[in-house]
């Protein structure tokens, strides 16, 4: 009987030693899935924001234009509420990027807070909505949408690492 009791205690010790390692690996697998999902969501949001920007370019027939309009723009704009924007966020209306940001936010729902930058023209890096000099939203102009967010992970949080930043950029040509 003594021998039997010793083996039972040995398996409990082995289980106690391997359980934390197994749980850490299991949580890490879920974290990896979260990173892949978040990266896909941020990339899709940037791409859809750029697509929205190129479709709502600055031709005279666009009723809810996005981005900087050319000086010779002769169209009329619908009220901001008709376009789906809050009037208080548009000052002045013709420089609005609110629709692009709304589109990106729709695709990011559930991903947490994000920084969204929309830049027109040939810019090397898009940050803080800084356009190239003289850039407008006419056909053929490049529009770049950059989305940046920070995601938190469970396994690194156990050792004091808070999370890391994921960023995606999409550049397209205005075609409307």
pLDDT tens per residue across span 113-139: 888 888 888 877 887 877 777 777 777
- If one counts every other C-beta atom within 10 angstroms of the C-beta of residue 81, the result is 9
For residue 91, the model assigns a pLDDT of: 46
For residue 83, the model assigns a pLDDT of: 66
Find residue 117's DSSP bridge partners: 146
Output the furthest CA–CA distance in the chain (Å, rounded).
Answer: 97
CB 36, CB 115: distance < 8 Å: no
d(CA 40, CA 141): 26
For residue 28, the model assigns a pLDDT of: 82
For residue 159, the model assigns a pLDDT of: 67
CA 71 to each of CA 59, 132, 135: distance values in angstroms, whole numbers, following the listed order: 12, 16, 11
User: Each residue's pLDDT tens digit in the chain (176 positions)?
Assistant: 455 555 667 888 888 889 988 988 888 888 888 888 888 989 999 999 888 888 877 665 666 667 776 666 666 666 666 666 655 454 444 457 777 888 888 888 766 688 888 888 887 788 787 777 777 777 778 888 999 988 888 777 666 777 788 899 898 887 76
What is the value of pTM for the model shown? 0.74
Instruction: Give the containing element (helix H, strand E) for 34.
Output: helix 2-55
The DSSP secondary structure of 14-28, one letter per residue, reads: HHHHHHHHHHHHHHH
Q: Within a 13 Å sphere around the CA of 176, how many CA atoms are in the beta-carbon half?
A: 21
For residue 92, the model assigns a pLDDT of: 47
Do β-strands 164-173 and 142-151 pair in parallel, antiparallel, or remain unpaired? antiparallel
| Tokens linked to 85 | 């924007």
């Amino acid at each position: 009987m003594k021998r039997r009791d010793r083996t039972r205690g040995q398996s409990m010790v082995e289980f106690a030693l391997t359980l934390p390692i197994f749980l850490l690996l299991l949580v890490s697998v879920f974290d990896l899935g979260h990173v892949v999902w978040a990266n896909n969501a941020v990339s899709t949001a940037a791409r859809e924001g750029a697509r929205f920007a190129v479709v709502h370019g600055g031709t005279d027939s666009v009723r809810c234009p996005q981005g900087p309009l050319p000086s010779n723009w002769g169209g009329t704009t619908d009220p901001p509420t008709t376009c789906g924007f809050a009037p208080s966020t548009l000052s002045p209306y013709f420089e609005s990027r609110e629709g692009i940001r709304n589109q990106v936010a729709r695709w990011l729902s559930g991903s947490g807070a994000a920084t969204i930058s929309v830049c027109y023209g040939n810019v090397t890096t898009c940050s803080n909505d800084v356009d190239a000099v003289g850039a407008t939203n006419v056909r053929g102009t490049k529009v770049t949408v950059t989305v940046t967010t920070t995601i938190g992970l469970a396994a690194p949080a156990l050792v004091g690492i808070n999370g890391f930043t994921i960023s995606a950029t999409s550049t397209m040509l205005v075609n409307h």
